Chain A
Protein backbone atom coordinates (compact mmCIF):
# COMPACT_ATOMS: atom_id res chain seq x y z
CA UNK A 1 0.00 0.00 0.00
CA UNK A 2 1.23 3.48 -0.88
CA UNK A 3 1.81 5.85 2.01
CA UNK A 4 3.56 9.14 2.68
CA UNK A 5 6.57 9.72 4.94
CA UNK A 6 4.35 11.75 7.27
CA UNK A 7 1.87 8.89 7.55
CA UNK A 8 4.74 6.63 8.54
CA UNK A 9 5.80 9.18 11.20
CA UNK A 10 2.23 9.27 12.58
CA UNK A 11 2.14 5.50 12.80
CA UNK A 12 5.58 5.40 14.46
CA UNK A 13 4.28 7.92 17.05
CA UNK A 14 1.17 5.81 17.64
CA UNK A 15 3.27 2.70 18.29
CA UNK A 16 5.01 4.53 21.16
CA UNK A 17 1.71 4.94 23.06
CA UNK A 18 1.03 1.99 25.36
CA UNK A 19 -2.35 0.86 26.60
CA UNK A 20 -3.67 2.98 29.47
CA UNK A 21 -1.00 5.67 29.30
CA UNK A 22 -1.63 9.34 30.09
CA UNK A 23 -0.30 11.23 27.09
CA UNK A 24 0.43 14.94 26.54
CA UNK A 25 -0.66 15.05 22.94
CA UNK A 26 -0.13 18.35 21.11
CA UNK A 27 -1.14 19.13 17.52
CA UNK A 28 -0.46 17.73 14.07
CA UNK A 29 1.29 14.35 13.76
CA UNK A 30 1.11 13.36 17.48
CA UNK A 31 -2.62 14.17 17.55
CA UNK A 32 -3.14 11.74 14.67
CA UNK A 33 -0.83 9.23 16.37
CA UNK A 34 -3.01 9.40 19.46
CA UNK A 35 -6.06 8.62 17.30
CA UNK A 36 -4.33 5.59 15.75
CA UNK A 37 -3.30 4.27 19.18
CA UNK A 38 -6.81 4.76 20.61
CA UNK A 39 -8.51 3.03 17.71
CA UNK A 40 -6.10 0.09 17.48
CA UNK A 41 -3.91 -0.90 20.42
CA UNK A 42 -4.41 1.53 23.33
CA UNK A 43 -8.18 2.07 23.73
CA UNK A 44 -7.76 3.22 27.35
CA UNK A 45 -5.05 5.80 26.72
CA UNK A 46 -5.96 9.32 27.88
CA UNK A 47 -5.07 12.47 25.94
CA UNK A 48 -4.05 15.60 27.87
CA UNK A 49 -3.82 19.01 26.18
CA UNK A 50 -1.87 21.96 27.55
CA UNK A 51 -4.85 24.34 27.42
CA UNK A 52 -6.48 22.26 30.19
CA UNK A 53 -8.52 19.76 28.16
CA UNK A 54 -8.45 16.01 28.89
CA UNK A 55 -10.06 13.58 26.43
CA UNK A 56 -10.70 9.85 26.36
CA UNK A 57 -11.32 9.94 22.60
CA UNK A 58 -9.82 12.13 19.89
CA UNK A 59 -11.99 14.87 18.40
CA UNK A 60 -14.04 13.52 15.53
CA UNK A 61 -13.59 16.57 13.32
CA UNK A 62 -10.19 17.76 12.18
CA UNK A 63 -8.86 20.77 14.10
CA UNK A 64 -6.15 23.39 13.62
CA UNK A 65 -5.58 24.12 17.32
CA UNK A 66 -6.15 22.21 20.54
CA UNK A 67 -8.70 24.85 21.62
CA UNK A 68 -10.94 24.41 18.55
CA UNK A 69 -14.57 23.67 19.51
CA UNK A 70 -14.54 19.98 18.37
CA UNK A 71 -11.69 19.31 20.84
CA UNK A 72 -13.77 20.68 23.75
CA UNK A 73 -17.12 19.12 22.94
CA UNK A 74 -17.46 15.74 24.65
CA UNK A 75 -14.12 16.14 26.46
CA UNK A 76 -13.66 14.39 29.82
CA UNK A 77 -12.43 17.52 31.54
CA UNK A 78 -11.99 21.20 30.79
CA UNK A 79 -9.71 23.00 33.20
CA UNK A 80 -6.66 25.22 32.90
CA UNK A 81 -2.92 25.10 32.29
CA UNK A 82 -2.09 24.79 35.98
CA UNK A 83 -4.33 21.71 36.34
CA UNK A 84 -2.70 19.70 33.57
CA UNK A 85 0.82 20.96 34.29
CA UNK A 86 0.33 19.88 37.91
CA UNK A 87 -0.30 16.35 36.63
CA UNK A 88 2.98 16.53 34.72
CA UNK A 89 4.91 17.92 37.68
CA UNK A 90 3.46 15.31 40.05
CA UNK A 91 4.81 12.58 37.76
CA UNK A 92 1.39 11.39 36.59
CA UNK A 93 1.92 11.82 32.84
CA UNK A 94 3.65 8.90 31.11
CA UNK A 95 4.46 10.38 27.76
CA UNK A 96 4.63 13.68 25.89
CA UNK A 97 5.31 14.61 22.27
CA UNK A 98 7.44 17.61 21.31
CA UNK A 99 9.09 19.03 18.22
CA UNK A 100 11.65 21.69 17.45
CA UNK A 101 13.57 23.62 14.84
CA UNK A 102 16.88 22.13 16.01
CA UNK A 103 17.86 18.99 17.92
CA UNK A 104 21.32 17.91 19.03
CA UNK A 105 23.16 14.65 19.79
CA UNK A 106 21.79 14.60 23.35
CA UNK A 107 18.18 15.31 22.37
CA UNK A 108 18.09 18.97 23.43
CA UNK A 109 15.60 21.03 21.42
CA UNK A 110 15.59 24.65 20.33
CA UNK A 111 12.50 26.69 19.42
CA UNK A 112 13.83 30.15 20.35
CA UNK A 113 16.59 31.33 18.00
CA UNK A 114 18.26 29.83 14.95
CA UNK A 115 20.88 31.23 12.60
CA UNK A 116 20.11 31.15 8.88
CA UNK A 117 22.68 32.49 6.39
CA UNK A 118 24.38 34.38 9.22
CA UNK A 119 21.13 36.05 10.25
CA UNK A 120 19.48 35.36 13.61
CA UNK A 121 15.88 34.19 13.17
CA UNK A 122 13.51 34.46 16.10
CA UNK A 123 11.15 31.50 16.55
CA UNK A 124 7.97 31.46 18.69
CA UNK A 125 9.45 30.08 21.95
CA UNK A 126 8.66 27.23 24.31
CA UNK A 127 4.91 27.05 24.68
CA UNK A 128 4.48 23.93 26.81
CA UNK A 129 7.46 22.09 25.28
CA UNK A 130 9.98 22.90 28.03
CA UNK A 131 7.47 21.68 30.63
CA UNK A 132 6.93 18.37 28.83
CA UNK A 133 10.68 17.92 28.24
CA UNK A 134 11.45 18.55 31.90
CA UNK A 135 8.58 16.72 33.57
CA UNK A 136 7.04 13.93 31.45
CA UNK A 137 7.84 10.30 32.26
CA UNK A 138 9.36 10.07 28.79
CA UNK A 139 9.08 12.15 25.68
CA UNK A 140 9.14 11.57 21.96
CA UNK A 141 10.69 14.11 19.63
CA UNK A 142 9.12 14.38 16.17
CA UNK A 143 10.68 16.47 13.41
CA UNK A 144 11.86 16.73 9.82
CA UNK A 145 15.36 15.41 9.32
CA UNK A 146 17.64 18.03 7.76
CA UNK A 147 21.30 18.70 8.37
CA UNK A 148 20.69 22.32 9.41
CA UNK A 149 18.32 21.03 12.12
CA UNK A 150 20.49 18.16 13.41
CA UNK A 151 23.42 19.87 15.10
CA UNK A 152 26.15 18.72 17.48
CA UNK A 153 24.90 21.43 19.85
CA UNK A 154 21.68 23.48 19.54
CA UNK A 155 22.04 27.28 19.52
CA UNK A 156 19.70 27.58 22.52
CA UNK A 157 18.17 24.98 24.81
CA UNK A 158 14.42 25.54 24.96
CA UNK A 159 13.46 21.99 25.91
CA UNK A 160 16.23 20.02 27.60
CA UNK A 161 16.95 16.45 26.55
CA UNK A 162 20.04 14.91 28.18
CA UNK A 163 21.93 18.23 28.32
CA UNK A 164 25.61 17.35 27.98
CA UNK A 165 24.94 13.61 28.17
CA UNK A 166 25.32 10.83 30.76
CA UNK A 167 23.96 11.82 34.20
CA UNK A 168 23.29 15.47 33.32
CA UNK A 169 19.51 15.28 33.97
CA UNK A 170 19.94 13.78 37.45
CA UNK A 171 22.73 16.19 38.35
CA UNK A 172 20.57 19.13 37.34
CA UNK A 173 17.45 17.89 39.10
CA UNK A 174 15.19 17.32 36.09
CA UNK A 175 12.45 14.99 37.34
CA UNK A 176 11.14 13.53 34.05
CA UNK A 177 12.78 10.63 32.22
CA UNK A 178 13.87 12.59 29.15
CA UNK A 179 13.53 11.73 25.47
CA UNK A 180 13.16 8.06 24.63
CA UNK A 181 12.83 8.32 20.84
CA UNK A 182 13.37 10.72 18.00
CA UNK A 183 11.03 10.08 15.06
CA UNK A 184 12.14 11.89 11.92
CA UNK A 185 11.26 11.92 8.25
CA UNK A 186 14.20 9.52 7.66
CA UNK A 187 14.33 7.16 10.62
CA UNK A 188 13.75 6.37 14.27
CA UNK A 189 16.38 6.97 16.93
CA UNK A 190 16.85 5.84 20.52
CA UNK A 191 19.31 7.02 23.17
CA UNK A 192 22.34 5.15 24.48
CA UNK A 193 21.66 4.01 28.04
CA UNK A 194 25.01 5.32 29.37
CA UNK A 195 26.16 8.25 27.25
CA UNK A 196 22.57 9.29 26.38
CA UNK A 197 23.64 10.00 22.83
CA UNK A 198 21.22 9.68 19.89
CA UNK A 199 21.55 6.26 18.18
CA UNK A 200 19.96 5.29 14.85
CA UNK A 201 17.58 2.39 15.56
CA UNK A 202 15.75 2.06 12.25
CA UNK A 203 15.77 3.68 8.83
CA UNK A 204 12.52 4.20 6.97
CA UNK A 205 11.88 2.04 3.88
CA UNK A 206 13.67 3.54 0.90
CA UNK A 207 16.10 5.58 3.03
CA UNK A 208 19.78 4.61 3.27
CA UNK A 209 21.97 4.95 6.34
CA UNK A 210 24.29 7.03 4.18
CA UNK A 211 21.48 9.51 3.52
CA UNK A 212 20.72 9.77 7.24
CA UNK A 213 24.41 10.34 8.03
CA UNK A 214 24.51 13.06 5.39
CA UNK A 215 21.57 14.87 7.00
CA UNK A 216 23.01 14.64 10.52
CA UNK A 217 25.54 17.22 11.72
CA UNK A 218 27.68 14.89 13.84
CA UNK A 219 29.21 11.40 13.43
CA UNK A 220 26.05 9.38 14.00
CA UNK A 221 26.10 6.18 16.04
CA UNK A 222 24.26 3.23 14.55
CA UNK A 223 22.56 0.58 16.68
CA UNK A 224 24.01 -2.95 16.25
CA UNK A 225 20.39 -4.10 15.89
CA UNK A 226 19.62 -1.58 13.15
CA UNK A 227 16.59 -2.51 11.08
CA UNK A 228 14.04 -1.03 8.70
CA UNK A 229 11.04 0.81 10.14
CA UNK A 230 7.97 -1.41 9.75
CA UNK A 231 5.68 0.22 7.16
CA UNK A 232 2.15 1.22 8.21
CA UNK A 233 -0.36 -1.59 8.22
CA UNK A 234 -3.62 -1.32 6.30
CA UNK A 235 -5.47 -0.76 9.60
CA UNK A 236 -3.07 1.94 10.77
CA UNK A 237 -3.31 3.82 7.47
CA UNK A 238 -7.10 3.62 7.51
CA UNK A 239 -7.22 5.37 10.90
CA UNK A 240 -4.72 8.05 9.86
CA UNK A 241 -6.88 8.83 6.81
CA UNK A 242 -10.09 8.75 8.81
CA UNK A 243 -8.75 11.51 11.09
CA UNK A 244 -6.95 13.47 8.36
CA UNK A 245 -9.33 13.00 5.42
CA UNK A 246 -8.14 16.11 3.57
CA UNK A 247 -4.47 15.23 4.10
CA UNK A 248 -3.83 18.54 5.86
CA UNK A 249 -1.06 17.13 8.05
CA UNK A 250 0.09 14.00 6.24
CA UNK A 251 0.51 14.86 2.54
Chain B
Protein backbone atom coordinates (compact mmCIF):
# COMPACT_ATOMS: atom_id res chain seq x y z
CA UNK B 1 0.00 0.00 0.00
CA UNK B 2 1.32 3.41 -0.96
CA UNK B 3 1.41 5.58 2.17
CA UNK B 4 3.23 8.56 0.73
CA UNK B 5 1.60 11.80 1.76
CA UNK B 6 2.48 15.45 2.19
CA UNK B 7 3.41 16.75 5.63
CA UNK B 8 0.31 18.88 6.14
CA UNK B 9 -2.09 16.02 5.41
CA UNK B 10 -0.11 13.47 7.40
CA UNK B 11 0.02 15.65 10.54
CA UNK B 12 -3.65 16.61 10.16
CA UNK B 13 -4.70 12.99 9.78
CA UNK B 14 -2.41 11.20 12.24
CA UNK B 15 -2.40 13.61 15.21
CA UNK B 16 -5.45 14.55 17.21
CA UNK B 17 -5.43 16.93 20.18
CA UNK B 18 -4.55 15.19 23.44
CA UNK B 19 -2.44 12.43 21.88
CA UNK B 20 0.82 11.04 23.28
CA UNK B 21 3.49 11.46 20.61
CA UNK B 22 7.05 10.09 20.70
CA UNK B 23 9.45 12.19 18.61
CA UNK B 24 13.18 12.93 18.62
CA UNK B 25 13.86 9.33 19.61
CA UNK B 26 17.46 8.90 18.39
CA UNK B 27 18.69 11.64 20.81
CA UNK B 28 20.45 14.56 19.05
CA UNK B 29 20.26 13.25 15.48
CA UNK B 30 17.29 12.37 13.20
CA UNK B 31 14.97 14.71 15.10
CA UNK B 32 11.81 15.25 13.02
CA UNK B 33 11.92 19.05 13.33
CA UNK B 34 9.90 19.68 10.15
CA UNK B 35 7.06 17.56 11.56
CA UNK B 36 7.27 19.47 14.86
CA UNK B 37 6.99 22.77 12.97
CA UNK B 38 3.85 21.53 11.21
CA UNK B 39 2.34 20.48 14.57
CA UNK B 40 2.88 24.08 15.69
CA UNK B 41 1.40 25.52 12.47
CA UNK B 42 -1.69 23.35 12.90
CA UNK B 43 -1.99 24.49 16.55
CA UNK B 44 -2.41 21.00 17.98
CA UNK B 45 -3.37 21.12 21.68
CA UNK B 46 -2.75 19.21 24.92
CA UNK B 47 -0.14 16.87 23.48
CA UNK B 48 2.03 14.60 25.58
CA UNK B 49 5.56 14.48 24.12
CA UNK B 50 7.74 11.43 24.73
CA UNK B 51 11.53 11.10 24.20
CA UNK B 52 14.66 10.95 26.37
CA UNK B 53 16.53 13.96 24.93
CA UNK B 54 15.14 15.62 21.85
CA UNK B 55 17.42 18.66 21.93
CA UNK B 56 15.41 21.88 21.34
CA UNK B 57 12.38 20.22 19.74
CA UNK B 58 10.36 19.90 22.97
CA UNK B 59 11.29 23.45 24.01
CA UNK B 60 9.88 24.78 20.71
CA UNK B 61 6.59 22.88 20.88
CA UNK B 62 6.15 23.71 24.59
CA UNK B 63 6.75 27.41 23.85
CA UNK B 64 4.15 27.32 21.07
CA UNK B 65 1.52 26.21 23.59
CA UNK B 66 0.80 22.73 22.18
CA UNK B 67 1.98 20.62 25.13
CA UNK B 68 0.38 19.63 28.44
CA UNK B 69 2.89 16.97 29.49
CA UNK B 70 6.37 15.69 28.67
CA UNK B 71 7.68 12.21 29.36
CA UNK B 72 11.43 12.81 29.18
CA UNK B 73 14.79 12.50 30.87
CA UNK B 74 16.28 15.81 29.72
CA UNK B 75 14.74 18.95 28.20
CA UNK B 76 17.02 21.79 27.12
CA UNK B 77 19.48 22.80 24.41
CA UNK B 78 22.27 20.24 24.24
CA UNK B 79 25.06 22.50 22.96
CA UNK B 80 23.88 25.76 24.56
CA UNK B 81 22.34 24.84 27.92
CA UNK B 82 18.91 25.41 29.39
CA UNK B 83 15.63 25.37 27.46
CA UNK B 84 14.05 28.76 28.09
CA UNK B 85 10.49 27.77 27.18
CA UNK B 86 10.70 24.62 29.30
CA UNK B 87 11.86 26.77 32.21
CA UNK B 88 9.10 29.34 31.75
CA UNK B 89 6.46 26.59 31.59
CA UNK B 90 7.79 24.82 34.70
CA UNK B 91 8.54 27.91 36.77
CA UNK B 92 5.78 30.32 35.76
CA UNK B 93 3.19 28.37 33.77
CA UNK B 94 4.01 30.37 30.60
CA UNK B 95 2.47 29.83 28.07
CA UNK B 96 0.73 27.14 30.13
CA UNK B 97 1.41 24.76 32.99
CA UNK B 98 3.41 21.70 32.11
CA UNK B 99 3.43 18.29 33.72
CA UNK B 100 6.61 16.17 33.62
CA UNK B 101 6.94 12.43 33.98
CA UNK B 102 10.60 12.32 35.05
CA UNK B 103 12.88 9.62 33.69
CA UNK B 104 16.51 8.72 33.19
CA UNK B 105 17.55 7.72 29.68
CA UNK B 106 17.48 4.07 30.70
CA UNK B 107 14.08 4.10 32.41
CA UNK B 108 12.46 5.94 29.50
CA UNK B 109 13.90 3.37 27.09
CA UNK B 110 12.64 0.54 29.31
CA UNK B 111 9.14 2.06 29.50
CA UNK B 112 8.94 2.12 25.70
CA UNK B 113 10.47 -1.34 25.46
CA UNK B 114 7.88 -2.72 27.89
CA UNK B 115 5.08 -1.37 25.68
CA UNK B 116 6.83 -2.76 22.58
CA UNK B 117 6.96 -6.16 24.32
CA UNK B 118 3.28 -6.02 25.29
CA UNK B 119 4.21 -5.91 29.00
CA UNK B 120 2.92 -3.57 31.73
CA UNK B 121 6.43 -2.86 33.09
CA UNK B 122 10.10 -3.86 33.00
CA UNK B 123 12.40 -4.23 36.02
CA UNK B 124 15.76 -2.49 36.39
CA UNK B 125 18.54 -1.77 38.86
CA UNK B 126 18.99 1.83 37.73
CA UNK B 127 17.78 5.06 39.34
CA UNK B 128 17.39 3.49 42.79
CA UNK B 129 18.32 6.28 45.15
CA UNK B 130 17.31 9.06 42.73
CA UNK B 131 14.59 11.35 44.07
CA UNK B 132 12.59 11.17 40.83
CA UNK B 133 12.31 7.36 41.22
CA UNK B 134 9.68 8.05 43.90
CA UNK B 135 7.21 9.17 41.26
CA UNK B 136 4.19 6.91 40.63
CA UNK B 137 5.41 5.49 37.31
CA UNK B 138 8.03 3.60 39.33
CA UNK B 139 7.49 0.89 41.96
CA UNK B 140 9.90 -1.11 44.06
CA UNK B 141 9.46 -4.85 43.58
CA UNK B 142 11.13 -8.03 44.86
CA UNK B 143 12.67 -10.34 42.30
CA UNK B 144 10.67 -13.62 42.53
CA UNK B 145 13.88 -15.64 42.06
CA UNK B 146 16.72 -13.83 43.84
CA UNK B 147 14.58 -11.71 46.22
CA UNK B 148 16.70 -8.66 45.37
CA UNK B 149 14.94 -5.31 45.22
CA UNK B 150 14.34 -3.93 41.75
CA UNK B 151 12.68 -0.87 40.29
CA UNK B 152 9.70 -1.52 38.03
CA UNK B 153 9.22 1.03 35.25
CA UNK B 154 5.67 1.43 33.95
CA UNK B 155 5.16 0.86 30.22
CA UNK B 156 4.98 3.95 28.01
CA UNK B 157 2.74 3.56 24.97
CA UNK B 158 2.69 6.45 22.50
CA UNK B 159 -0.37 6.93 20.30
CA UNK B 160 2.04 7.91 17.56
CA UNK B 161 5.79 7.85 16.96
CA UNK B 162 7.15 10.42 14.50
CA UNK B 163 10.53 9.29 13.18
CA UNK B 164 12.87 10.91 10.71
CA UNK B 165 14.86 8.27 8.79
CA UNK B 166 17.40 8.24 5.98
CA UNK B 167 15.28 6.31 3.52
CA UNK B 168 12.00 4.41 3.25
CA UNK B 169 9.95 2.84 0.51
CA UNK B 170 6.40 3.98 -0.22
CA UNK B 171 4.98 1.31 2.15
CA UNK B 172 6.99 2.69 5.08
CA UNK B 173 9.73 0.07 5.36
CA UNK B 174 12.55 2.20 6.73
CA UNK B 175 16.33 1.95 6.64
CA UNK B 176 18.15 3.78 9.42
CA UNK B 177 21.84 3.94 10.25
CA UNK B 178 23.80 5.59 13.04
CA UNK B 179 22.78 5.74 16.69
CA UNK B 180 19.23 4.55 17.39
CA UNK B 181 18.62 6.00 20.87
CA UNK B 182 15.09 4.66 21.55
CA UNK B 183 13.98 4.83 17.94
CA UNK B 184 13.42 1.08 17.61
CA UNK B 185 11.54 0.79 20.90
CA UNK B 186 9.36 3.81 20.04
CA UNK B 187 8.49 2.41 16.60
CA UNK B 188 7.37 -0.92 18.08
CA UNK B 189 5.66 0.59 21.15
CA UNK B 190 3.52 3.17 19.34
CA UNK B 191 0.07 2.43 17.98
CA UNK B 192 1.26 3.83 14.65
CA UNK B 193 4.28 5.50 13.09
CA UNK B 194 4.59 8.61 10.92
CA UNK B 195 7.82 8.61 8.93
CA UNK B 196 9.59 11.55 7.40
CA UNK B 197 12.59 10.63 5.25
CA UNK B 198 15.38 12.22 3.26
CA UNK B 199 14.84 9.79 0.42
CA UNK B 200 12.09 7.51 -0.93
CA UNK B 201 13.57 4.35 -2.43
CA UNK B 202 12.32 1.32 -4.31
CA UNK B 203 11.14 -1.69 -2.35
CA UNK B 204 14.12 -3.56 -3.87
CA UNK B 205 16.57 -1.31 -1.98
CA UNK B 206 14.93 -2.34 1.31
CA UNK B 207 15.06 -6.04 0.42
CA UNK B 208 18.76 -5.79 -0.48
CA UNK B 209 19.72 -5.01 3.13
CA UNK B 210 17.14 -6.29 5.64
CA UNK B 211 19.41 -5.81 8.68
CA UNK B 212 19.22 -2.09 8.00
CA UNK B 213 15.41 -2.12 8.20
CA UNK B 214 14.51 -0.61 11.56
CA UNK B 215 10.79 -0.09 11.00
CA UNK B 216 8.72 -2.66 9.08
CA UNK B 217 6.13 -0.89 6.94
CA UNK B 218 3.07 -2.50 8.50
CA UNK B 219 3.65 -0.36 11.62
CA UNK B 220 3.60 2.83 9.55
CA UNK B 221 0.60 5.01 8.71
CA UNK B 222 2.23 7.78 6.63
CA UNK B 223 5.46 8.36 4.73
CA UNK B 224 6.50 11.94 3.97
CA UNK B 225 9.43 12.75 1.70
CA UNK B 226 11.33 15.67 3.25
CA UNK B 227 14.88 16.48 2.28
CA UNK B 228 16.42 18.23 5.32
CA UNK B 229 13.41 17.07 7.36
CA UNK B 230 15.64 16.79 10.45
CA UNK B 231 17.15 20.28 10.11
CA UNK B 232 18.84 21.60 12.28
CA UNK B 233 19.66 18.11 13.61
CA UNK B 234 21.88 15.84 11.51
CA UNK B 235 20.92 12.84 9.36
CA UNK B 236 24.00 10.68 8.85
CA UNK B 237 25.09 10.60 5.21
CA UNK B 238 22.61 13.33 4.18
CA UNK B 239 22.87 16.45 6.31
CA UNK B 240 25.16 17.87 8.98
CA UNK B 241 24.16 19.50 12.24
CA UNK B 242 23.44 23.24 11.88
CA UNK B 243 25.15 24.30 15.13
CA UNK B 244 24.52 28.03 14.61
CA UNK B 245 20.76 27.44 14.46
CA UNK B 246 20.80 26.04 18.02
CA UNK B 247 22.91 28.92 19.38
CA UNK B 248 20.69 31.50 17.65
CA UNK B 249 17.57 29.81 19.03
CA UNK B 250 19.07 29.85 22.52
CA UNK B 251 19.76 33.57 22.31
CA UNK B 252 16.49 34.55 20.70
CA UNK B 253 14.21 32.43 22.91
CA UNK B 254 15.63 33.89 26.14
CA UNK B 255 12.62 36.21 26.56
CA UNK B 256 9.01 35.33 25.55
CA UNK B 257 8.88 38.20 23.01
CA UNK B 258 12.09 36.97 21.39
CA UNK B 259 10.69 33.47 21.13
CA UNK B 260 7.51 34.87 19.52
CA UNK B 261 9.63 36.62 16.90
CA UNK B 262 11.62 33.44 16.32
CA UNK B 263 8.41 31.43 15.93
CA UNK B 264 6.95 33.94 13.51
CA UNK B 265 10.10 34.05 11.41
CA UNK B 266 10.88 30.34 11.14
CA UNK B 267 7.55 28.53 11.59
CA UNK B 268 4.35 30.58 11.46
CA UNK B 269 5.62 32.96 8.80
CA UNK B 270 6.42 30.15 6.34
CA UNK B 271 3.68 28.02 4.87
CA UNK B 272 5.54 24.74 4.58
CA UNK B 273 8.88 22.95 4.60
CA UNK B 274 9.96 24.20 1.18
CA UNK B 275 9.45 27.82 2.26
CA UNK B 276 11.47 27.05 5.41
CA UNK B 277 14.31 25.71 3.27
CA UNK B 278 14.11 28.79 1.04
CA UNK B 279 14.42 30.96 4.14
CA UNK B 280 17.56 29.07 5.16
CA UNK B 281 18.87 29.74 1.66
CA UNK B 282 20.79 27.55 -0.79
CA UNK B 283 24.24 28.49 0.49
CA UNK B 284 23.50 27.48 4.07
CA UNK B 285 21.93 24.21 2.90
CA UNK B 286 24.92 23.47 0.69
CA UNK B 287 27.27 23.95 3.65
CA UNK B 288 25.25 21.37 5.60
CA UNK B 289 25.72 18.63 3.03
CA UNK B 290 28.59 16.18 3.57
CA UNK B 291 31.37 16.39 1.00
CA UNK B 292 31.78 13.07 -0.80
CA UNK B 293 30.82 9.69 0.62
CA UNK B 294 32.02 7.25 3.22
CA UNK B 295 30.37 4.04 1.98
CA UNK B 296 30.02 0.86 4.00
CA UNK B 297 31.00 -2.24 2.05
CA UNK B 298 28.09 -4.29 0.68
CA UNK B 299 27.40 -7.67 2.25
CA UNK B 300 26.23 -10.76 0.39
CA UNK B 301 22.85 -12.27 1.24
CA UNK B 302 23.34 -15.02 -1.32
CA UNK B 303 22.35 -18.59 -0.46
On A, residues with C-beta under 8 Å from B are 27, 49-53, 64-69, 72-74, 78-82, 85, 88-89, 112, 119-131, 133-135, 156-160, 163, 168-169, 172-175
Pick the contact of B74: A127, A133, A134, A168 (CB < 8 A). Answer: A127
Chain B's closest residue to A109 (CB) is: B130
Q: Is the CB of B241 within 8 A of A85?
A: no
Q: Is the CB of A72 within 8 A of B109?
A: no
Among the stretches B5-13, B86-94, B215-223, B263-271, the one at the interface with A is B86-94
Q: Is B38 an interface residue (CB 8 A)?
A: no
Q: Is the CB of B91 within 8 A of A120?
A: yes
Residue-wise interface mask of B (245-262) relative to A, using a CB-CB cutoff of 8 A (1 in contact, 0 not): 010000000000000000
Q: Is B83 an interface residue (CB 8 A)?
A: yes
Chain B's closest residue to A110 (CB) is: B131
Residue-wise interface mask of B (39-72) relative to A, using a CB-CB cutoff of 8 A (1 in contact, 0 not): 0000000000000110100000000000000001
The CA of A124 and the CA of B82, in the complex, are separated in Å by: 6
Across the interface, which residues of A come within 8 angstroms of B246, CB to CB?
A: 64
Pick the contact of B132: A85, A134, A158 (CB < 8 A). Answer: A158
Across the interface, which residues of A come within 8 angstroms of B148, CB to CB?
A: 173
Residue-wise interface mask of B (172-209) relative to A, using a CB-CB cutoff of 8 A (1 in contact, 0 not): 00000111111111000000000000000000000000
Q: Is B280 an interface residue (CB 8 A)?
A: no
Q: Is B213 an interface residue (CB 8 A)?
A: no
**What size tier do the contact residues of chain B reach?**
35 or more
Pick the contact of B128: A53, A69, A158, A172 (CB < 8 A). Answer: A172
Q: Is the CB of A67 within 8 A of B234?
A: yes
B280 to chain A, nearest CB (A): 18
Pick the contact of A82: B103, B110, B177 (CB < 8 A). Answer: B110
The CA of A79 and the CA of B29, in the complex, are separated in Å by: 13
The CA of A159 and the CA of B132, in the complex, are separated in Å by: 10
Residue-wise interface mask of B (95-139) relative to A, using a CB-CB cutoff of 8 A (1 in contact, 0 not): 000001011111011100100000000001111111110000000
Given the interface contacts A85-B105, A125-B72, does A80 sit within 8 Å of B182 by beta carbon?
yes
Of A52, A81, A159, which is in contact with the most chain B CB atoms at under 10 Å from its CB? A81
Pick the contact of B91: A78, A81, A89, A119 (CB < 8 A). Answer: A119
Chain B's closest residue to A171 (CB) is: B129
Pick the contact of A81: B106, B124, B132 (CB < 8 A). Answer: B106
Q: Is the CB of A72 within 8 A of B74?
A: no
In B272-291, the 8 Å CB interface with A consists of: 290
Across the interface, which residues of B come within 8 angstroms of A174, CB to CB?
A: 128-129
Given the interface contacts A64-B241, A69-B240, A80-B182, does A134 sit within 8 Å of B127 by beta carbon?
yes
Given the interface contacts A80-B184, A82-B110, A121-B87, does A51 sit within 8 Å of B240 by beta carbon?
no
Across the interface, which residues of A come within 8 angstroms of B72, CB to CB?
A: 125
20 A-B pairs besides A78-B177, A81-B108 with CB distance below 8 A are: A50-B105, A52-B180, A52-B181, A64-B246, A67-B29, A68-B241, A72-B236, A80-B185, A81-B27, A120-B91, A124-B75, A125-B100, A125-B102, A126-B73, A126-B103, A131-B126, A160-B128, A163-B129, A173-B128, A173-B149
Q: Is B152 an interface residue (CB 8 A)?
A: no
Pick the contact of A52: B128, B179, B234, B240 (CB < 8 A). Answer: B179
Q: Is the CB of B91 within 8 A of A122?
A: yes
B38 to chain A, nearest CB (A): 23
Of A50, A72, A122, A123, which is in contact with the most chain B CB atoms at under 10 Å from its CB? A122
Across the interface, which residues of A come within 8 angstroms of B236, CB to CB?
A: 69, 72-73
